[in-house]
Structure 1
Amino acid sequence: MKNMLVYQANVDHFMAQCGWRFDKSWFGRFDVSLWIKPLLKCNVGLELIFIIEDQSRRRAILLDQYNAFSSQEILLTRSIPLSGKGSLKDLKIKLHYQGCEQSEIVLDHFHFKPIPKVEPKLDFYTKRRVKEA
């Protein structure tokens, strides 16, 4: 498979803006979506790959895949929970593809958003979790 870089994070900026604490262990969720328009009808194989490296390890995670004959728009998407240790060294998203050339793929819309950890709501008096309606 060939690959194309979709997104390369400036990790210092990302860590400062996302609101997570990277001094020890951390947990977060990422929403990732990519709309693709093939320019020609082709039997295409696509894989959206999330690559992240922190202080302890480097991981490549398959977010979504598509294998079919298509000339229509294709949506690759996933919300992924992720944990790590310490500061980020690398964070990027790649598209692996086969059955067509890179010039035949148009990246129409890309969405990447870190979702902050939401603390459970507690009752003021009992300090127990409040069930959401």
Structure 2
Amino acid sequence: MDRTRFLLRTSAIYAFIGVMIGSHMAGSGDYVFRAIHAHILVVGWLSLFSFAIFYRLFSIPASSVLAKIHVWTSFLGTFGLTVGMWLYYANPIPNLATFNLLFFIIGGSVLFLGFFAFLLIAFVHGKHIHE
């Protein structure tokens, strides 16, 4: 799997979704989704795009298990956090409050692990990062 292409394409999808939500909020005057909109753009678009650029600029070995963990926890955590946030705040299906909360919390926790994996990559694979 090409990490850079995967993260870049995923970030483009989040950017499009974020812009759609922002356009809807601007047109309707209803800003109930502002926190979701912000997280989709910052975590989904900006962070995943930044990770894509990181993997393009620095030669982190393709065989790195840590990098694979980073990519997948970032991808799954971003999805879990943003969808979980939507489920929690919008509550589209009544009587699922506990499920919505757990989806939100687990998604955010997985994303946290993704950022922790990135921190480790910056130090473990630091020898591959040159000025």
Which band: TM-score by shorter chain? under 0.3
- Structure with more of its chain in strand, by fraction: 1
Give the structure, 1 or 2, with the largest relative contact order (CA under 8 Å, sep 6 or more): 1
- Pick the structure with greater CA Rg: 1
